[in-house]
Amino acid sequence: MRDTRFQGDFAMKTLWMAVVVFFLTIVGVGLARAQKPSDKPVVRLDPALDALVSPDAKLELVKGGFGFTEGALWVQKGKIGYLLFSDIPANVIYKWTPDGKVSVYLDHSGYTGQDIWRVGFMQTNGKDRNDPLFEEFPMIGSNGLALDRQDRLIIATWAGRSA
């Protein structure tokens, strides 16, 4: 059985971090290029969300410019924690703090070999190859993050074929 730190306000922090990572992801793959807050409301599929998120809440872009982000993990350290997330093509795990700062947490977070073109797979941003905004990138970095019972970081990787 998990300890009590996974109860109470942890659910709210997890939800907000999921929203943050959602925007990091869509901005990273090019679906939302604008660097401004959204005027669209949060879509509620379950009324229980109202207990965690204000009905007038708006989605807000906190940081953009990443490749393809996944693996969001909130790490609680004392009263303040931080968000870890993977940028798969960059092969980096980033750390985002509530004050808005982003730093490299771990470089070479997935594949650590020399010849990256022989591992992983190629991904595109979904645009036609003739479109000037077309992008293609290798999926070589970590994509899944978790903490074990001793709070050690567990990293799942595409190209490294490891966890």
Query: What are the residue ranges spanned by the domains of the chain?
Result: 4-157
pLDDT higher than 80, residue 38: no
* Backbone torsions φ then ψ of 21, nearest 5 degrees: -65, -35
Would you put residue 43 in left (φ > 0), alpha (ψ -120 to 50) or beta? beta
What is the model's pLDDT at position 120?
Answer: 63
pLDDT higher than 50, residue 140: yes
99-128: pLDDT as tens digits: 989 999 999 888 776 666 566 667 777 889
Angle of CA points 60, 64, 67, to nearest 5°: 135
What is the model's pLDDT at position 82?
Answer: 94
Can you give the pTM of this predicted structure?
Answer: 0.64
pLDDT higher than 60, residue 31: no
pLDDT higher than 80, residue 25: no
Which DSSP string corresponds to 99-118? TS-EEEEEES-S--SS-GGG
